[in-house]
């Protein structure tokens, strides 16, 4: 597994495949980190495992030792995709870009748990899409850029809290697990990484249109230092002001101060006829 790309086994000749800068590949070489990442999944004999970007197979040995019912992987790099099952029999690999996966179809896999070292340039959009289809997995453990991990796990009112945090907070609980330095990768990335775990929320009302909620949240955070009554100018009304007060917010509140669930409530209210 590789922080910015996808890690796997080797080239057809048997020697390790070189990292491809175009795919942002940095291969994880520390077995202790690999073991900790897989342990965070809590793999059981009934679980299906999907690994995104297995690369040279840094996690494969540990996943197979845990004995899941199924072990699947998606790898964009064709050479790595071909090499992985040769070096780690028991894994089924599909050569495809993870961003092209239909995450809603993953619910067909029993007790699905997802793991991956996500490329820095695709981590946010991939996690965004996966979380919106939250019914399809039990948990997901990802290594991402440290800054992205901080944003994913941030709390309202902090500098790291933003649109990604607010969107994810309507679907999953994000736990920051541990930080990973650049020395455990080859080639070394220039930034730190971190491992996070995503667990779908129970008892949360379903969002009818995740894409619309996402657009609304992004709009609010495009003016994160503006008061919400100004951000929502044209939609603001007494009813909207009352909604803010009911949930303990002032009309002068800013987007960075609002809880994830309140964005969902607010977006739904603004869609209801007669509320603005």
Residues of the chain with CATH 3.40.50.150: 21-200
C-alpha 240/C-alpha 16 separation (Å) is 59
What CATH topology corresponds to 210-271? Helicase, Ruva Protein; domain 3 (1.10.8)
The CATH class for the domain spanning 21-200 reads alpha beta
195 forms beta bridges with 143, 178
Residue-wise pLDDT for 266-275, tens only, equals 999 998 544 4
Written as six digits, the tokens of 170 are 């309507």
Structure-token pair, residue 24? 């942002």
Residue-wise pLDDT for 38-83, tens only, equals 999 999 999 999 999 999 999 999 999 999 999 999 999 999 999 9
- pLDDT digits over 80-114, tens only? 999 999 999 999 999 999 888 887 778 789 999 99
Domain with CATH 1.10.8.100 in the chain: 210-271
pTM here?
Answer: 0.89
């Amino acid at each position: 597994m590789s922080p910015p790309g996808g890690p796997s086994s080797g080239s057809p000749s048997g020697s390790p495949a070189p990292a491809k800068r175009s795919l942002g590949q940095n291969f994880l070489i520390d077995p202790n980190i690999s073991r900790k990442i897989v342990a965070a999944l809590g793999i059981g004999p009934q679980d299906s495992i999907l690994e995104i970007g297995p690369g040279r197979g840094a996690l494969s040995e540990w996943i197979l030792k845990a004995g899941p019912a199924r072990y699947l992987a998606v790898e964009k790099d064709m050479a790595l995709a071909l090499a992985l099952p040769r070096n780690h029999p028991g894994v089924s690999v599909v050569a495809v870009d993870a961003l092209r996966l239909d995450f809603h179809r993953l619910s067909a896999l029993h007790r699905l748990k997802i793991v991956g070292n996500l490329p820095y340039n695709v981590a946010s959009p991939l996690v965004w899409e996966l979380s919106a289809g939250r019914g399809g997995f039990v948990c997901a453990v990802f290594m991402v850029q440290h800054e992205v991990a901080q944003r994913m796990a941030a709390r309202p009112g902090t500098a790291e809290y933003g649109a990604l945090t607010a969107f994810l907070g309507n679907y999953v609980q994000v736990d920051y697990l541990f930080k990973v330095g650049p020395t455990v990768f080859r080639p070394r990335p220039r930034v730190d990484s971190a491992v996070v775990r995503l667990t779908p929320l129970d008892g949360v009302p379903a969002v009818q249109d995740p894409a619309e909620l996402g657009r609304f949240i992004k709009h609010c955070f495009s003016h994160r230092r503006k008061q919400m009554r100004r951000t929502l100018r044209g939609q603001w009304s007494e009813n909207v002001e009352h909604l803010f007060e009911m949930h303990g917010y002032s009309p002068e509140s800013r987007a960075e101060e609002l809880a994830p669930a309140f964005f969902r409530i607010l977006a739904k209210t603004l869609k209801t006829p007669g509320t603005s």
